[in-house]
A and B are shown apart, each in its own frame.
Chain A
Amino acid sequence: MAAPRAKSAAALRRSGWPATLWAAARTPRGAIGLTLTLFVVAVAALGPLLAPHSGEQFVTTPFAPPSVAPPLGGDVLGRDVLSRVLEGGWTLLPVAFAATAFGVVVGAAAGISAAYLRGRADGLIMRSVDVLLAFPQLVLVLLLLSIVGPKLWLIIIAVGLAHAPQVARVLRAATLDVSERDYVKAVELQGVRPFKVMTKEILPNLTTPLMVESGLRLTYSIVIIAGLSFLGFGQSPNIPNWGTMVNENRIGLETNPWAVIVPGLLIVLFAIGTNTFTDAIARVAIGVERRPQELAEVGDPDEEPWLEALV
């Protein structure tokens, strides 16, 4: 297949983020990533409509092997594995998307303000970031969930907060670069208020790091939230959820492994899909055949200073 006329990274950046996404989707890597992601999203979204039974209904014996009636067999309590798989994405993916959105918005707001306002605001924000970075992400989330209990809103906020410091670091580095440019200086001289400078002049120039960060954080969100459900700190165990299923059906691996394999596979496909697509975005946007994390360590930081913080 002939390669589509490749636009240069700079040209892509001028034509905006939809063009970058489109270009990424047309690379082989991006196409695979996007297909996997959309497939899992489709299963999660359409699944509840197609489920033959209710995921909470007992239809067979515990760990019944797959047969004609329950095609994927029964789970630990004799519920239909197929129905629980079809319903179990809708309780997982929206939470991951919400947590990602919350984390990216909070982190970006903190990072951009720190870099643009400098001085005390910068110091205060970045020291808070250091404090949050002193916990392993999962431990921070568990700490926040430990007393109030696993409430849905709290999971979203806790996972988002665990992402925010990393996002803030990346966006701070990116902003430091952008805010030195002439068009920003020009607007400042006209006496435009800092808030407006940040939202109208700086933010539109940060779409690439924002896209890459959102993709990376979405991958980590699904991993953390599925992990929480796996540990039993997700929503109620009655509610079908892929992470919960992997844990509760582990003890029946010998009689009905499908109750673990299928939900596990869906989590994996989604994580690999978003990660691969993000990789494609980064490659297209920067115009190099290397991943940002790697560039950050060894690459040319003068060209893309925000990469420096991506590690």
Chain B
Amino acid sequence: MVWRLVLRRTLLGLLTLLVVSILVFFATHVLPGNAANAVLGQSATPKRVEVLEAQLELNRPVVDQYLSWLGNLLTGHLGHSLSGDTLTGGGGQPVWELISPKLVNSAILVFLSGLIGSVLGVLLGILATLRRESWFDRITSVGALTVTALPEFIVAVVLVILFATGGLQILPAVSTLPPGTYAWSEPELLVLPVATLVIVIVPYIFRMTRAAMTEALESDYVEMAKLNGVPTWRINLFHALPNIVPPVIQVIGLNFLYLAGGIVLVEFVFNYPGIGQGLVSSITQRDIPVIQVIVVILAAFYVAMNIVTDVIALLASPRRRVAR
């Protein structure tokens, strides 16, 4: 039952990714006339355009270009970056070499922020529900509504003002790493980027946990348990808590999805060497092969994350398992 659903969702996901790849390819490669001219901009000379056209294989039919691009992508041939010496005729850095350390750094950032944010959000949500209408509940609820509206780059800049340049000068304002090193070698560089993302995602997880827990505590089965004289801590722990697992997993999944996009601005603010910052700089430099690969990776993460979240939520909830 569940596995058929997993299979169906996976096939649909692959189909979605196929269409995504078409969209990405055409948006970056074909739509605006000649990509070679766009890349070279002012410095376009007939000779250079010709070299670049040959490298991008722009002189072949569009469908051919797409199919060979997709084939290369699937077999792991990601091509070469256009930045640096490519414009003078030499070969750029292989895209995979350029992206893989960034991918690792971004994964660390997303994983740490997601983990800390989820634990914090769920704990605060449960605490607020257990002390409903207390000052703690009121302050956290209004605070959550306010913080959900904050743009992540503003949160990041505020943290920089507080902890790096203004008030306390205890943390680095930028997280630049020497090339070839990973974020774990200098953990203090991770503090502010992770803190920014945690502040942005906690309110969502908090609100969902609070709503789900409130609903569970007002349910008939909790009422029944109370009438039977079950102690409050047992009710909270064994009757209410298991029932908030599916919605909470859903919202945690949604927040991991958000993080995949949220890293773009946060990595840019801190100059953190991840794929978000890589995407911004590749767009600035019109480095098409790099843009394509990063966007496809982010989309694949999105689609996979969606499936994983749905399946876990489904497995965690007996009621839903029967319903479908």
Contact = CB atoms under 8 A, between A and B. Distances in A.
A119 interface: no
Given A139-B260, A139-B295, A272-B150, 4 more contacts: A134-B302, A138-B264, A219-B149, A268-B149
A291 B160 CA distance: 32
Interface string B132-147: 0000000000000110
B207 A293 contact: yes
A295 B211 contact: yes
- Looking at chain A, what size class is its interface with the partner chain? 35 or more
Interface stretch (B95-103, B229-237, B279-287): B279-287
Nearest to B302: A134
Nearest to B244: A298
Given A134-B16, A147-B27, A227-B265, A142 B283 contact: yes
Contacts of A257: 161, 166
A127 B15 CA distance: 10
A260 B157 CA distance: 9
Contact of A253 (B27, B161, B280): B161
A276 B19 CA distance: 37
Interface string B155-174: 00110110001100000000
Interface in A222-273: 222-223, 226-227, 230-233, 246-247, 250, 253-254, 257, 260-261, 264, 267-268, 271-272
A148 interface: yes
Main secondary structure of the interface of A (DSSP, over half): helix
Given A142-B283, A143-B291, A297-B208, A136 B260 contact: yes
Given A143-B295, A264-B157, A227 B151 contact: yes
Interface stretch (B31-39, B72-80, B116-124): B31-39
Among A139, A279, A299, the most chain B Cβ lie within 10 Å of the Cβ of: A139
B153 interface: yes
Contacts of B257: 136
A275 B161 contact: no
Interface string B2-40: 000000000010011101100110011001100100100
B154 interface: yes
A188 interface: no
Interface string B207-250: 11011101100000000000000000000000000000001001
Contact of A135 (B146, B280, B295): B295
| A-B pairs with lowest CB-CB distance, top 5 | A136-B261, A294-B211, A275-B149, A298-B215, A271-B149
Among A143, A219, A279, the most chain B Cβ lie within 10 Å of the Cβ of: A143
Interface string A288-311: 001101110111000000000001
B151 A311 contact: no
A10 interface: no
Contact of A250 (B23, B149, B157, B207): B157
A276 B16 contact: no
A136 B298 contact: yes
B208 A148 contact: no
B200 to A, nearest CB: 10
A139 B286 contact: no
Contacts of A145: 283
Nearest to A260: B157
Contacts of B303: 134
B51 interface: no
Nearest to A135: B299
A254 B173 CA distance: 12
Contacts of B265: 138, 227, 230-231
Interface in A12-36: none
A267 B154 CA distance: 9
A147 B35 contact: yes
Contact of B145 (A138, A253, A267, A275): A275
A226 B151 contact: yes
A295 B214 CA distance: 11
Nearest to A230: B153
Contacts of A231: 264-265, 268, 280
A246 B152 CA distance: 12
B254 interface: yes
A81 B214 CA distance: 47
A132 B205 CA distance: 24
